[in-house]
Amino acid sequence: LPYGEEGVPRQPEGVVRRPEESVAEAQRLLDEGKPFHAHEVFEDAWKSGPAEERELWRGLAQMAVGLTHAARGNVTGGARLLRRGAVAVEEWAAGGELRAHGIDVPWVIAWARELAAEVERGEGVPVDAGARAPRLRGAA
């Protein structure tokens, strides 16, 4: 936020949700233009979920933080975290998972890579986080 501008309350941390609830809550926050809050939902899932899903949730959390940076005009941080998240989710999906808890994994990976390239072409122009939020269940 710009200096002196009032923020919004943080997302509660340490909330254990069913995976489908995490996806729905994160999508709601992304749609509201609150990618950092969505990151915290993904982080909760990453920390409380089964070990075999941690890379999925960690990658999604990184993508959400990448969108946060992109919305603040941070080209390097935004692009780097979007790509890092895409790699983490792609590596997790290498086991054959193309849909997890309703998430369209290939679509989300493609979204992150495309946005990273767009952020780099935009030369520091902030993106609209709500307008550029991913549709976790795919382009509908």
Kindly report the CATH number assigned to the domain that includes residue 76. 1.10.3450.10
The CA–CA distances, whole Å, from 20 to 6, 28, 90, 123, 136 equal 32, 12, 20, 36, 11
pLDDT, residue 100, reads 87
Residue 11 lies inside a defined structural domain of this protein: no
How many independent structural domains does the chain possess? 1
- Position 8 scores a pLDDT of 59
pLDDT at 43: 95
Residue 60 lies in a domain: yes
**pLDDT the model gives residue 136:** 95
Range of the domain at 48: 19-121
8 in a domain, yes or no?
no
Q: What is the pLDDT of residues 36-69, one digit of tens each?
A: 999 999 999 999 989 999 999 999 999 999 999 9
- Is 10 among the domain residues? no
Give every CB contact of residue 79 below 8 A, 6+ residues apart in sequence: 66, 70, 116, 117, 119, 120
The whole-chain average pLDDT of the chain stands at: 89
Residue 130 lies in a domain: no
CA distance 75 to 7: 22
- Average pLDDT by stretches of 10, the chain with 140 residues: 53 77 96 95 94 95 97 94 98 86 95 96 89 87
* DSSP-based three-state secondary structure for 103: strand
Considering the domain boundaries, does residue 82 fall inside one? yes
**Residue partners of 34: CB distance under 8 A and separation at least 6:** 8, 11, 129
